[in-house]
Structure 1
Amino acid sequence: MYLNSRQKRQRVLMMIFGAFAIFFTGYPHIWSVYQPYIRELTGWTEGQTSMCFYLSMLTFVFGNIFGGRIQDRYSPKIAIAVGGGIFAAGILLSAFLIIPSPLPMYFTYGVMQGFGQGMMYTTILSTAQKWFPHKLGFASGVVVTANGLCGFFLAPVSRVILAEDGPKTAFLLIGSVIAISWVLGCIFIKNPRQAGVRETDRPGWVADETPSLEKEKQYTSKEMIRTRKFYYLVATMLFGLISYFMISPVAQGIQTERGIDVSIAVTAVMLGSIMNASARLFLPSMADKIGRVKCVKGVLVVSVAAMIMLAVSKSMFTALTTVSVVLMYGCYGGIMGSFPSLTSSIFGLSHSGENYGFVMSGIVIATLGAPFVANLLTANGFDTNMGFIVGVICAALSVLFILLLERELSDKRAGKDFGNQEEKKQARVITAK
């Protein structure tokens, strides 16, 4: 991609402030740190308090779809301006709604935060990929890594503020920083066309003379959901993430329950967070070279092995429990980091924002399905280990669906896996939109 010095600077600024803005989209994942303080002040039940998290995750996907459509049809600036404003306002308003009724907080922390985050998340991902059409994995990996690092940095900061000044101050302070990231995003996040990059500026995007029609096709969302590839992709994400969500809520407790020292259990969770963030960056970048389906398939095979180790380590080699927890955090990061570029590789960049929003329906189903399965097993007298066995089955199903996806792509592309070469050919017909 041939850019002048000004355009290169704009690309760097886009990545920096895009990563800064997307960092805060990981904020709902530290809600468990806030829960005890919110419950103490309001008297809400655990279920009422947890609903804030689930609402934010549910509306996050709808925000992705809406924000993707806005930025695909108009510009990233509009999607960032609207989504970031909703997001920041939701957090700031939550500071004044710590009251006996949870309904107002459901709207501000749950609906407003989730929807606004979703609009920003898909917009930043899609815009980053358009700046790096030959390195989709690297571009999406950088910004998604920022999302994964949110919990690592904001959780301890939130604990200090909550302990000293309470949740109102925490919402106001963090909401103010979110507002700053929103303003900076509005200023610096722009697509290549807005930065003056023209098709003729990018001769390096032209590939060989005989790309297939399939590789040139830029799917709209309506066209995408009519393909088997879409459902294989969603099913792969769904079952891959359910395995992780079966572990995540009990990652520390299951280790101590099996006789592992508390300090080791806490260290494992911290290492898992590092693995999560690292996988989001390195795996998509690796997929640029070796192929996306191949990379995702490797991650899912590791998740099957980790879930099996977790299930059998109850009665033997309890240290494997710790190893399994760390590996599953890494697999989660690998899935979340790889799927944006995988989706764009399959369905094209022109409508990538909205398309990925629909693919993320797998996250919603997994987020709601995992606790439902866990509660169902508990209600029928099964212990936590049975949940891990269910996790093994789900992980195996995710491998099955990625194999079906691979076969579908091979049928269309003469057995060639998606990777860097495909993207170079596809970029012939992608505008700088």
Structure 2
Amino acid sequence: MIIGGFLASKLGPKTAAMFGCAIMNGGVFLSSYTVKKSLVWFLVTYGIMFGFGQGIAYVVAVSSVINWAPESVGLFSGLVAGAFGVSAAIFTPIQTHLVNPENFQSDSDGYLSESVLLDRVPQVFQLLSFIFAIMQTVGLVFICDPPLEVKESNEQRRPKVRRCLSDSVVEDPSWRWLGEVDSKSESSSSDSSFQPRKRTKNPRKIIALNVPLIETDVEFDNFIDDESDNEENEKIIVSDMGIKQVLQSWTFYALFLTLFCCSFYGNLYYNLYKTFANTFIDDDMFMAGAFSAGTVANALARIGWGIVADKFSFQCALTTATSFASLLLFTMPLTQYAGRMMYLVWLILMFICVAANQSLFITAAVKCFGSKHKAINYGFLILSTTISGIMLSAICQTLLSKIGYTWMFISAAIFAFLALVTTCVTRYTPQGRVISIKKRAIKKNLKKTKMYTLTLNYAFDRSRPSSCDKLLILLRFA
């Protein structure tokens, strides 16, 4: 992903994505030959080449989409992540039908070893590479950055002023406070009869601006009412940080550790869920259907987590996901005693929790470190998943044979809990306040939800509200 961000900045998003797709397809096609030769060469083609190309194409795609909608990073990064995840729901049943149409049952180790089944695998790789090439060709048509006019209009919608800097004081020099006002405000301030009442001179200096900041109670035209004023006071503009600045920030390492823990428990669950189910569920078609249902839920949840991050905060979304994931992983061993339906419910809920890992961290990277270098910054952040994957592949099979599935799931739950802790700690890092829980935003959105619910109930006469509720509705929509 780091290379993908670099290529996109030098060659453009379309060329960079095309390069990644070509490497990915080449790896899939060559795997049809290497799978019959040796494990090492298969790891090179289907492990390194496939993952390398996929990472380049993915980071370019999500970066391009965010460029079109910089004000809704969570929603649109969730849409891309959801589309990326739903592909598994489409191809998993197809792969299962192509490889195992007879629905052979797995052996005692949870694997399929019938020779007639194994002979079909090379042809499946060739067919998949052909399908991938067609779909990627269609997708490359739409990969592009917005024109200059769209970028300028997005910049004009960004908040320009703050009424009172003492509402929120940030000492880190990477923050950028903007003191520009519109033409109407400038004309007002130039009037000799207009004398703003200075409240406090702020001797602090920000390196990026190198000028003292003045706090004032002047009302600007940018603010329409108290509600919009409160909303603007919550917005903080962060300068675009290069990778050198990012690597010097404690916020980056807090997010890196959090993503490492999230990736570890998520990948550990992905590695164990099917082999664990095969110990008490002898139905490969049921497992394919369960995985498809979980993947659809995962794709929708990626969009949902992105919306939560936009409406509330990154911290609110991720703490919710990791809290539920800890509980589900601790109780996952009990599903073998309750049967396949409980297992299916737990699988879907776990896929919903894991979905937060794919959609939230790009949002955090953009909000903390800026949008200009987001692809490269996110590429360095995502290195934590590579480290966790290497560690997981090295210890998973060894520990599984020694401690069993129960303790493996408990270990995954511990990592989910650690992710919860590090997410809360991120708030106290230099840029962490941007993605932390804001009580005002939560109260505001909950208030809107209550008003809309009361309005719908009154409209459909489900439960007639009281006189006080009617007054609140009228005040809200007046």
Aligned-residue offset at 1:408: 2.0
Aligned with residue 158 of structure 2, among 206, 209, 212: 206
Alignment of 1:207-286 (within 5 A): 207-210=159-162, 212-213=175-176, 215-255=237-277, 257=279, 268-286=290-308
Q: Distance in 2 between matches of 1:144 and 1:86?
A: 21
- Equivalent residues of 1:86, 1:113 under 8 A apart: yes
Alignment of 1:398-413 (within 5 A): 398-408=419-429
Q: What amino acid maps onto 1:280 in structure 2?
A: R
Q: Which residue of 2 aligns with 1:22?
A: none
- Which gives a bigger RCO, structure 1 or 2 (Cα 8 Å, sep 6+)? 1
- Equivalent residues of 2:90, 2:292 under 8 A apart: no
Q: Distance in 2 between matches of 1:385 and 1:70?
A: 44
Aligned-residue offset at 1:364: 1.5
Q: What amino acid maps onto 1:121 in structure 2?
A: Y
- Equivalent residues of 2:89, 2:293 under 8 A apart: no
Aligned length: 355
Q: Distance in 2 between matches of 1:87 and 1:108?
A: 9
Q: Which residue of 2 aligns with 1:176?
A: 130
Aligned with residue 108 of structure 1, among 40, 45, 48: 45
Alignment of 1:20-419 (within 5 A): 64-162=1-99, 166-192=120-146, 195-197=147-149, 199-202=151-154, 204-210=156-162, 212-213=175-176, 215-255=237-277, 257=279, 268-310=290-332, 321-378=343-400, 381-408=402-429, 417=438
- Equivalent residues of 2:61, 2:143 under 8 A apart: yes
Q: Distance in 1 between matches of 2:283 and 2:438?
A: 44
Q: What amino acid maps onto 1:166 in structure 2?
A: R
Q: What amino acid maps onto 1:205 in structure 2?
A: R
Aligned-residue offset at 1:91: 2.2
Provide the secondary structure at the position in 2 that maps to 1:188: coil
Describe the shift of the 1:144–1:235 C-alpha distance in structure 2 as closer, same or farther (beyond 3 A). Answer: same
- Equivalent residues of 1:281, 1:337 under 8 A apart: yes
Q: What amino acid maps onto 2:412 in structure 1?
A: G
Specify which structure has the higher proportion of helix: 1
Q: Distance in 2 between matches of 1:393 and 1:82?
A: 39
1:20-74, Cα deviation, whole Å (9 max, x unpaired): xxxxxxxxxxxxxxxxxxxxxxxxxxxxxxxxxxxxxxxxxxxx11011121344
Provide the secondary structure at the position in 1 that maps to 2:237: helix
- Equivalent residues of 1:252, 1:266 under 8 A apart: no
Provide the secondary structure at the position in 2 that maps to 1:133: coil
- Equivalent residues of 1:406, 1:417 under 8 A apart: no
Structure 2: tracts of 5 or more residues without a match = 102-118, 166-174, 177-235, 443-478
Q: Distance in 2 between matches of 1:82 and 1:370?
A: 29
1:92-151, Cα deviation, whole Å (9 max, x unpaired): 333344433344433332222221111101000111111110111121111111211122
TM-score scaled by structure 2? 0.66
Describe the shift of the 1:416–1:99 C-alpha distance in structure 2 as closer, same or farther (beyond 3 A). Answer: closer
- Equivalent residues of 1:136, 1:288 under 8 A apart: yes
- RMSD of aligned alpha carbons: 3.3
Aligned-residue offset at 1:235: 1.3
Aligned-residue offset at 1:313: 6.1
- Equivalent residues of 1:343, 1:352 under 8 A apart: yes
Aligned-residue offset at 1:298: 1.0
Q: Which residue of 2 aligns with 1:33?
A: none
Describe the shift of the 1:419–1:262 C-alpha distance in structure 2 as closer, same or farther (beyond 3 A). Answer: farther
Larger Rg: 2
Q: Which residue of 1 aligns with 2:465?
A: none
Q: Distance in 2 between matches of 1:418 and 1:136?
A: 21
Aligned-residue offset at 1:154: 0.9
Describe the shift of the 1:413–1:106 C-alpha distance in structure 2 as closer, same or farther (beyond 3 A). Answer: closer
Structure 1: tracts of 5 or more residues without a match = 1-63, 422-433
TM-score scaled by structure 1? 0.72
Describe the shift of the 1:226–1:168 C-alpha distance in structure 2 as closer, same or farther (beyond 3 A). Answer: same
Q: Distance in 2 between matches of 1:389 and 1:368?
A: 20
- Equivalent residues of 2:426, 2:432 under 8 A apart: no
Q: What amino acid maps onto 2:157 in structure 1?
A: W
Q: What amino acid maps onto 2:60 in structure 1?
A: T
Q: Distance in 1 between matches of 2:98 and 2:276?
A: 29
- Equivalent residues of 1:94, 1:108 under 8 A apart: yes
